């Protein structure tokens, strides 16, 4: 007897359909699983065996061969348990085979027959819809996640017996009730810009960064609130669109970091520690899994103490930053993870962090070394370089500078203006402008360009800074609802670009 059950394997960011074929024939009792499974798939035999017996089913004393097709795809994780068990039940005619044609099955089994939660259910549900399968049987805890995908009937089950009852023509169990507000963060608990005192310049920079999706580098002594400010960037970014939210939820689900029942609502903020390895940052491993850059997809990647990150980790970020996607090659296969994030980094202005005050103990050589460590691949991609000095005490005890709601309102307007102007180019924000599009869309006044040229000739601006500055100036103009880039916009952008231009005359 042969039976087939549809399930899905997580392959990088996507899921791929896997057909679990179970064949029963006479011979010495045996239970073999073939089809490039990893250790957890091999161990699956023991779980399936025990789960069947403990749920009151018979375990056929025949020669059982399970094949996970396609055989070339590497299969990982315990998500095939349930499909294998269903296949064995169908092949031994304990449940009707035809019923299985309308269902995909995904879940881990316990020895007692209970069905346990698994990673990547959202990706599986999307695969189910793509494959045109009517329904999906998943662990009850993950049912809400699977139900985020439209057009798929989701059955959340908690035991193998429930699955059998369903396939014998029982009712589809109702989705578990939403836990009241369990997943929603109360608005009061969300970080808000109102918590920040003083720091008018960095807040302004944050506004511009949010409005144009520019990358931002904050430099200031320890404890001035760089991390605090970066944590508030998501609160002034436009809300996730549904497509974005699904992508974010899917990737967090694959990484096993998703615990909610609804779509992720807030843009993610990822702040990896500076000891992170290159593969931790962009993804990798024997079985490629998403890294921090992908977990920050459609959100913010915050690199605190940029100069402390290993050079190889920062180098690895180049491709993701540029292409919005990272390709991880393992063996003959390439796995793509999306990485469209906004980069915020912070750094000390000098090794001791007190540069500019009389407490700084760094020599000029220390400073030069510090600068050298910072420069290179990532600094090229920073649009806004903003100092963040210690606020004065009266500012600390003063009123909030602004609130996230106020900033968000102006950001949304500016984004709308950009999207309108860039309609048809496939781009949404000024940060993504290519040199060719810039000529067309920046529309700077002659005196603004003259000012920029002056700054370049005077040596306060580098060649690469020149282009980035124009993009920032365009965003500032958008924030002011100005059709053209005026002189004042360029001047403000100049103030937001603190770079050290070292040349002969400026060597001191």
Partner 1 sequence: MSACDNCLRRSALIAALAPHIERARRNHRHIAELLALGDGDLLDALAGGRRDELERAQATFDPTSARERIAGAGLEAVCRHDASYPPRLRQAADAAAVLHVAGDRARLNALAGGDAPAVAVVGARRAGPDSLEVARGLGRGLAAAGVTVVSGMALGIDSAAHAGALEVGGPTLAVLASGADVPYPPSKRGLYRAIVKTQAAVSEMPPGFRPFRWCFPARNRTIAGLASLTIVVEAAERSGSLITAELAQDLGRAVGAVPGAVTDARASGSNALLRDGALVIRHAQDALDEALGIGVATALAGPRAQELEDSLRALLRRVENGCDTVSDLAATPGEAQSAMAGLAELELLGFLRRGPGGRYVRCS
Binding stretches for partner 1 (CB under 8 A): 198-204, 207, 219-221, 349-350, 354-358, 360, 362-365, 367-368, 386-389, 391-392, 395, 398, 401-402, 407, 451, 454-455, 458, 460, 476, 488, 491-492, 494-496, 498, 502-508
Write the secondary structure of 218-264 as one string of H (helix), E (strand) and C (coil): EECCCCCCHHHHHHCCHHHCCCCCHHHHHHHHHHHHHCCCCCCCCCC
What distances in angstroms separate CA 335 from CA 8, 13, 290, 338, one per listed residue?
A: 16, 8, 10, 10
- Nearer to partner 1 by Cβ, of 199 and 441: the residue is 199
- Nearer to partner 1 by Cβ, of 460 and 467: the residue is 460
Residue 463 beta carbon to partner 1: minimum distance, rounded to whole angstroms? 17
- Nearer to partner 1 by Cβ, of 97 and 404: the residue is 404
- Nearer to partner 1 by Cβ, of 26 and 358: the residue is 358
DSSP state of 114: B
Residue 43 beta carbon to partner 1: minimum distance, rounded to whole angstroms? 58
* CA dihedral for 314, 317, 319, 322, sign (positive or negative): negative
Tokens 């023509």 sit on residue: 169
- Nearer to partner 1 by Cβ, of 198 and 280: the residue is 198
Residue 435 beta carbon to partner 1: minimum distance, rounded to whole angstroms? 24
- Nearer to partner 1 by Cβ, of 162 and 410: the residue is 410
- Nearer to partner 1 by Cβ, of 183 and 354: the residue is 354
Residue 438 beta carbon to partner 1: minimum distance, rounded to whole angstroms? 21
- Nearer to partner 1 by Cβ, of 287 and 360: the residue is 360
Residue 444 beta carbon to partner 1: minimum distance, rounded to whole angstroms? 15
Write the secondary structure of 331-400 as one string of H (helix), E (strand) and C (coil): CCEEEEEECCCEEEEEECCCCCCCCCCCCCCCCHHHHHHHHHHHCCCCHHHCCEEEECCCCCHHHHCCCC
Residue 307 beta carbon to partner 1: minimum distance, rounded to whole angstroms? 15
Tokens 């369990």 sit on residue: 182
Cα–chain-centroid distance for residue 461? Answer: 33
Residue 336 beta carbon to partner 1: minimum distance, rounded to whole angstroms? 39
Cα–chain-centroid distance for residue 382? Answer: 20
The partner residues of 15 in beta bridges, in order of sequence, read 10
Cα–chain-centroid distance for residue 15? Answer: 17
| Cα gap 397→239, rounded to integer Å | 31
Residue 302 beta carbon to partner 1: minimum distance, rounded to whole angstroms? 20
Secondary-structure percent of the chain, ordered helix, strand, coil, rounded to 5: 40, 20, 40
Residue 494 beta carbon to partner 1: minimum distance, rounded to whole angstroms? 4
Output the CA angle 122-76-63, nearest 5 degrees.
115
What distances in angstroms separate CA 211 from CA 74, 132, 262, 492, one per listed residue?
A: 42, 40, 27, 15
- Nearer to partner 1 by Cβ, of 136 and 203: the residue is 203
Q: Shortest CA distance to 365 belongs to which of 207, 507, 184?
A: 507
Tokens 């960064």 sit on residue: 209
Residue 313 beta carbon to partner 1: minimum distance, rounded to whole angstroms? 26
Residue 368 beta carbon to partner 1: minimum distance, rounded to whole angstroms? 5
- Nearer to partner 1 by Cβ, of 67 and 498: the residue is 498
Output the CA angle 243-249-255, nearest 5 degrees.
140
- Nearer to partner 1 by Cβ, of 203 and 422: the residue is 203
Tokens 């500019």 sit on residue: 356
């Amino acid at each position: 007897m042969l039976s087939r059950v549809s399930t899905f394997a997580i392959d990088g960011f996507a899921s791929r359909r896997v057909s679990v074929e179970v064949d029963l024939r006479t011979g010495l009792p045996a239970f073999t699983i073939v089809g490039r499974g990893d250790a957890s798939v091999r161990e699956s035999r023991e779980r399936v065996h025990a789960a069947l017996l403990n749920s009151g089913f018979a375990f056929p004393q025949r020669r059982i061969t399970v094949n996970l097709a396609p055989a070339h795809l590497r299969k990982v994780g315990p998500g095939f348990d349930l499909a294998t068990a269903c296949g064995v039940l169908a092949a031994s005619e304990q449940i009707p085979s035809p019923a299985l044609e309308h269902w995909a099955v995904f879940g881990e089994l316990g020895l007692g027959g209970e069905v346990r939660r698994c990673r990547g259910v959202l990706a599986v549900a999307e695969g189910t819809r793509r494959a045109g399968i009517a329904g999906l049987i998943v662990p009850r805890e993950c049912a809400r996640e699977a139900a985020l995908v439209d057009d798929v009937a989701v059955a959340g089950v908690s035991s193998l017996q429930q699955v059998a009852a369903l396939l014998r023509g029982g009712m589809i169990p109702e989705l578990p009730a939403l836990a009241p507000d369990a997943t929603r963060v109360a608005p009061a608990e969300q970080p808000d810009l109102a918590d920040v005192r003083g720091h008018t310049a960095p807040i302004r920079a944050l506004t511009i960064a949010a409005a144009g999706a520019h990358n931002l580098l904050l430099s200031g002594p320890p404890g001035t609130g760089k991390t605090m400010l970066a944590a508030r960037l998501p609160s002034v970014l436009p809300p996730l669109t549904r497509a974005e939210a699904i992508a974010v939820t899917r990737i967090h689900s694959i990484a096993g970091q998703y615990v909610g029942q609804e779509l992720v609502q807030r843009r993610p903020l990822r702040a990896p520690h500076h000891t992170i390895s290159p593969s931790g940052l962009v993804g990798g491993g024997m079985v490629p899994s998403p890294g921090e850059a992908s977990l920050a997809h459609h959100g913010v990647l915050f690199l605190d103490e940029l100069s402390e990150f290993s050079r190889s980790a920062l180098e690895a970020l180049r491709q993701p930053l540029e292409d919005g996607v990272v390709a991880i090659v393992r063996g003959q296969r390439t796995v793509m993870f999306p990485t469209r994030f906004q980069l915020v980094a912070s750094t000390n202005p000098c090794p001791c962090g007190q540069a500019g005050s009389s407490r700084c103990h760094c020599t000029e050589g220390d400073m030069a070394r510090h600068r050298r460590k910072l420069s290179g691949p990532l600094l090229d991609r920073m649009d806004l370089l903003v100092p963040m000095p210690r606020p004065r005490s009266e500012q600390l005890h003063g009123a909030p500078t602004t609130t996230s709601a106020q900033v968000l309102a102006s950001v949304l307007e500016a984004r709308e203006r950009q999207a309108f102007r860039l309609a048809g180019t496939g781009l949404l924000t000024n940060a993504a402008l290519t040199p060719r599009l810039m000529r067309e869309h920046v529309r700077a006044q002659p005196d603004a360009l003259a000012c920029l040229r002056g700054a370049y000739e005077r040596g306060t601006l580098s060649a690469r800074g020149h282009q980035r500055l124009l993009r920032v100036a365009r965003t500032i103009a958008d924030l002011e609802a100005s059709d053209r880039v005026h002189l004042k916009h360029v001047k403000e952008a100049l103030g937001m670009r603190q770079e050290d231009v070292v040349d002969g005359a400026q060597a001191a």
